[in-house]
Structure 1
Amino acid sequence: MWLVRHYALPFLIFLVFCGDLAFADDPPTAASVTANPAAPPPDSRLAGPTLSGADTAWMLISSALVLMMTAPGLALFYCGLVRKKNVLGVMMQCFFLMGILSIVWALYGYSLAFAPDALGGFCGGTEFMFMNGVLPTWSASTGADVPMAGSIPRSLHMVYQMMFFIITPALICGAYAERMKFSTMVVFTILWGTFVYCPIAHWVWSDQGWLNFFYIPLAPDAPKQAAAFPALDFAGGTVVHISSGVSALICALVLGKRLGHGQEPMPPHNMTYTCIGAALLWVGWFGFNAGSALAANALAVNAFVSTHLAAAAGTVAWAGAEWALRGKPSILGACSGAVAGLVCITPAAGSVTPLYGIVIGALAGVVCYQACNLKAKFGYDDALDAFGVHGVGGTLGALVTGIFATAAVVPAQTKAVGVLEGNGAQFINQAVGAGASIAIAVVFTLILLKILDAVMGLRVSQQEELQGLDVSQHGEEGYIFL
């Protein structure tokens, strides 16, 4: 009786619960089907005929990973390399650009990059301006409608590409660190993104881009045809790294050297920050490269593995070169090598096998190491080696992609892709893409800097530079105990 009193009620509850579970997967009865005949159809905003939950989840994660690359990743990487009086200046540049460039991209940047051709194919038109055709809509007659980009909502594609738009001009900050006015930097960045980044992104990644390897004609019933120079750039070797790296060199040349450069030591003030930032960049790059598949599929896996192995090889190659030539490997060399390997694999991650990722990463480590050493010979002050790592690494990556690309990785290919497979023309296409990116970056960066120098001034005053940008530009100090 004691057992009945104490366990009867819990046992009955358990039976009822199990009954619910047992019948949960049973087919609905006629009564259950007709119980609510006015029930609305599933909301297309939650699941549509072409929406993939897996792809959408992966792209949401990738978007967050790429945003993390700018701050705290790049912000920590860069701020550790400057002097302590400029640490907040660099972090503020990265953080503020996350805000202002997000708005610019949503209002018109995405349209200039991904809308159908305008201005003879120089950039996109106004179809997606102010997020028209991007956001969900609703009408009484048709209900909710979610514009799609493949298997993900177009708004997700927009925000993923936004993260690229944010980090690309932030990379240039490494060239003019410790000496450029904050106000001028903001205006320059907005204009640079408009006139340099958006056109290159349109050429390479939009459906009708003249450099897009997967060119899609405007007319849906027209046969698929090749672009003028179909170049492979999976995740932004030309769009992100060549454009920012070359522009960084122009900025360094136009602004001139920092006060005391070459006359007094200017070592990194906190390599711990730089190491943490490099680690965050490494992790974030998985979203950058593997996310560029725009789906959770085998291509994303290939890009993920190739990216990691390239970073690993770059780390070993750069630090190994230091070890051989200087007698000691440095943490700065290891971090720089990892970033160089990541930069170089960016255009190739979706077209080469992971084994070639190791080759590409090793090449990047050695070549970019030598490129950074050359700045002392030529006498320019690229404060944080933005050109040596991103400009040189991006160009190298674009070119070797044409050599190592394989039809085994590139989607929907029925013939040879890279030079090693017998397609020598692909190397020419890669060179044209790299050359076009270099040309527009040089021309527009130079024009913008000259105009802004005349209107606003580029550099802070000598007194402000000696004081440090933390205090002179932001009225704050990064450290109160050093």
Structure 2
Amino acid sequence: MQTSDIVFMIFSTALVMLMTPGLALFYGGMVTKNNILNTKMHSYVAIILISLQWILFGYSLAFGTDHGGLIGGLNWVGLNGVGFEPNADYSATIPHQLFMLFQLMFAIITPALISGAFAERMKFKVFVIFMLLWATFVYDPLAHWVWGVGGWIRTLGALDFAGGNVVHISSGVSGLVGALMLGKRIKKEEAGPHHIPLTVLGAGLLWFGWFGFNAGSALGVNGEAGKVAVNAFLTTNTSAAAAALGWIISEGLYAKRVTVMGAVSGAVAGLVSITPGAGYVTPMASIIIGLIGGVICYFAVAVLKEKLGYDDALDAFGCHGIGGTWGAIATGIFATKSINSAGADGVLAGGNWALLGSQIISVVATYAFAAAGTFVILKGISFFTSIRVEEEEEKMGLDLAVHGEKAYGKTFREQTL
């Protein structure tokens, strides 16, 4: 083991953990003032429940002994055999438990991302049940496909450095399916975002935490891992900046204005877009990836959503689904082994069209699996209870209707005492 790698990965894990509270702020500022607590609770309940699910059996399903390229075994249930000693397959220079913890933070934020698509209208108990089922039957198998030894997408040769497929496409597509099944929100006079400064703060925390998300995926700072980590850090920041610029330019030309919300949304789109290739592409390529990512995500949010008429409340699909898709494809185009010998040369570096083909197959498979899994889970839950809150509860706001709390001012009970 390498002490420097251990310190680096502990810090990276903490950075990724910070992203979910950052997401709570990011999403919380975008909803109406009567739904901020419910929206933030989605992120915090993900931290609470997935932290337990992952240790009990989630990690084993994702990274345990392979079964047919589709799912991990139960050999690491309850962290049996997951101790301080390194695991040669995943964490040769850090404790196996530290690798498990790092991956836990990815498992936590992914279902939290989904919640943005159907904010302000799903029953809280339904979200809790959905999240646990989705993490078990969608996220864990998909993580095994892409990152687990023997996983069929990993064996195919597709590259996903830090979660383009596993985190962003899966959450974006699942969010879209959930939004379609729930239907549109009731129109209100006071529509979100109600507190843009909160969203800006959340975006800043996401940007900061994303360095752990992407650079930490190098799993060390010694030897080539150090070079890959530095490159991932650099491409992450560069893509975010380029995408923010792309979004701002698009918004200025199309909507004739430039907004703060647009700038931070563009930065997030760039962070998403670079995630699959952060450790495989050059800094110059990351400018192109980010710039295009910002443009296409803007039009997905500003034009595509409007024309198709779906209510992706906080643009989970527009930013994460679309951005993740572009990032996966861009990795097939721009990847180069000069950055990471464990990767592959893409179309531009070596004329390797096979890598691009593998990337496209992995994207299609992720779309199909996430969409089908989400539909089946929500449909199954709907046989036992309605998945949407009552109309009066939605009009009142879920903070008071579900939690009996208000973010601003006194609750009805306090006012009557």
Q: Which residue of 1 aligns with 2:311?
A: 381
- Structure 2 contact 116–175 (Cα < 8 Å) conserved: yes
- Structure 2 contact 33–192 (Cα < 8 Å) conserved: no
Q: Which residue of 2 aligns with 1:122?
A: 70
Q: Which residue of 2 aligns with 1:206?
A: 148
Among 281, 288, 300, which residue is 2:206 paired with?
Answer: 281
- Structure 2 contact 86–94 (Cα < 8 Å) conserved: no
**Residue-by-residue CA offset, 1:35-57 (whole Å, 9 max, x unaligned):** xxxxxxxxxxxxxxxx1111110
**Residue-by-residue CA offset, 1:331-362 (whole Å, 9 max, x unaligned):** 01001000000000000101100111111000
Q: Which residue of 2 aligns with 1:19?
A: none
Q: Which runs of 5+ in 2 are unaligned?
A: 412-417
Q: Which runs of 5+ in 1 are unaligned?
A: 1-50, 137-144, 213-226
* Matching of residue 251 in structure 1 with residue 178 in structure 2: yes
Q: Which residue of 1 aligns with 2:414?
A: none
Among 132, 156, 160, which residue is 2:80 paired with?
Answer: 132
- Structure 1 contact 133–147 (Cα < 8 Å) conserved: no
C-alpha spacing 1:258/1:412, structure 2 compared with 1 (3 Å): closer
Deviation at 1:75, TM superposition (A): 0.3
- Structure 2 contact 174–374 (Cα < 8 Å) conserved: yes
Letter in 1 for 2:262: G
Deviation at 1:147, TM superposition (A): 5.7
Once the two structures are overlaid, the 10-residue window that deviates more, 330-339 or 252-261, is 252-261
Letter in 1 for 2:397: G
**Residue-by-residue CA offset, 1:339-393 (whole Å, 9 max, x unaligned):** 0000000001011001111110000100000011211111111000000000010
**Residue-by-residue CA offset, 1:424-457 (whole Å, 9 max, x unaligned):** 1111000011111111101110000111111122
C-alpha spacing 1:303/1:265, structure 2 compared with 1 (3 Å): same
* Matching of residue 313 in structure 1 with residue 313 in structure 2: no
1:23-38 pair list within 5 angstroms: none
Deviation at 1:481, TM superposition (A): 7.4
Letter in 2 for 1:423: N
1:294-313 pair list within 5 angstroms: 294-296=219-221, 297-313=226-242
* Matching of residue 367 in structure 1 with residue 296 in structure 2: yes
**Residue-by-residue CA offset, 1:228-287 (whole Å, 9 max, x unaligned):** x210100000000000000010001000011127xx562300000000000000000000
Among 85, 96, 100, which residue is 2:34 paired with?
Answer: 85
Among 263, 266, 271, which residue is 2:196 paired with?
Answer: 271
Where in structure 1 do 4 or more consecutive aligned residues deviate above 6 Å?
none
* Matching of residue 189 in structure 1 with residue 131 in structure 2: yes
Deviation at 1:206, TM superposition (A): 1.0
Q: Which residue of 2 aligns with 1:12?
A: none
* Matching of residue 403 in structure 1 with residue 333 in structure 2: yes
Deviation at 1:153, TM superposition (A): 0.2
- Structure 1 contact 196–441 (Cα < 8 Å) conserved: yes
- Structure 2 contact 20–112 (Cα < 8 Å) conserved: yes
C-alpha spacing 1:481/1:311, structure 2 compared with 1 (3 Å): farther
Give me the whole-angstrom Cα distance separating, in 2, the residues matched to 1:345 and 1:169: 20
Among 40, 55, 58, which residue is 1:109 paired with?
Answer: 58
The DSSP-based 3-state class of the residue aligned with 2:152 is coil
Q: Which residue of 2 aligns with 1:25?
A: none
Deviation at 1:472, TM superposition (A): 1.0
The count of residues paired between Structure 1 and Structure 2 equals 404
Among 153, 157, 181, which residue is 2:95 paired with?
Answer: 153
Among 382, 405, 413, which residue is 1:453 paired with?
Answer: 382
C-alpha spacing 1:416/1:343, structure 2 compared with 1 (3 Å): closer
**Residue-by-residue CA offset, 1:4-43 (whole Å, 9 max, x unaligned):** xxxxxxxxxxxxxxxxxxxxxxxxxxxxxxxxxxxxxxxx
**Residue-by-residue CA offset, 1:142-162 (whole Å, 9 max, x unaligned):** xxx676621000000001000
**Residue-by-residue CA offset, 1:384-409 (whole Å, 9 max, x unaligned):** 00000000100010001000001111
The DSSP-based 3-state class of the residue aligned with 2:383 is helix
Letter in 2 for 1:237: G
What is the RMSD computed on CA atoms of the aligned residues? 1.5
Give me the whole-angstrom Cα distance separating, in 2, the residues matched to 1:449 and 1:278: 29
Once the two structures are overlaid, the 10-residue window that deviates more, 156-165 or 126-135, is 126-135
Give me the whole-angstrom Cα distance separating, in 2, the residues matched to 1:312 and 1:146: 36
Q: Which residue of 2 aligns with 1:70?
A: 20
The DSSP-based 3-state class of the residue aligned with 1:347 is helix
Q: Which residue of 2 aligns with 1:23?
A: none
Letter in 1 for 2:171: S
Q: Which residue of 2 aligns with 1:442?
A: 371
- Structure 2 contact 33–407 (Cα < 8 Å) conserved: yes
Normalised by the length of structure 2, the TM-score is 0.94
- Structure 2 contact 9–216 (Cα < 8 Å) conserved: yes
Normalised by the length of structure 1, the TM-score is 0.82
- Structure 1 contact 314–341 (Cα < 8 Å) conserved: yes
Give me the whole-angstrom Cα distance separating, in 1, the residues matched to 2:378 and 2:94: 39
Give me the whole-angstrom Cα distance separating, in 2, the residues matched to 1:231 and 1:412: 12
Q: Which residue of 2 aligns with 1:29?
A: none
**Residue-by-residue CA offset, 1:98-155 (whole Å, 9 max, x unaligned):** 011100001100000001112x22110011111011124xxxxxxxx67662100000
Letter in 2 for 1:315: A
The DSSP-based 3-state class of the residue aligned with 1:285 is helix
Letter in 1 for 2:396: Q
| Seq. identity, % | 50
- Structure 2 contact 66–149 (Cα < 8 Å) conserved: no
Q: Which residue of 2 aligns with 1:390?
A: 320
Deviation at 1:418, TM superposition (A): 3.7
Among 169, 176, 188, which residue is 2:111 paired with?
Answer: 169
Among 267, 275, 279, which residue is 1:350 paired with?
Answer: 279
The DSSP-based 3-state class of the residue aligned with 1:355 is helix
Give me the whole-angstrom Cα distance separating, in 2, the residues matched to 1:455 and 1:285: 38
Q: Tell me which of the two structures has the higher relative contact order, counting C-alpha pairs closer than 8 angstroms and 6 or more residues apart.
A: 2
The DSSP-based 3-state class of the residue aligned with 2:153 is coil
C-alpha spacing 1:147/1:233, structure 2 compared with 1 (3 Å): closer
Letter in 1 for 2:323: G
**Residue-by-residue CA offset, 1:406-430 (whole Å, 9 max, x unaligned):** 11112246x7444442101111000
- Structure 2 contact 86–92 (Cα < 8 Å) conserved: no
The DSSP-based 3-state class of the residue aligned with 2:352 is coil
Q: Highest Rg: 1 or 2?
A: 1
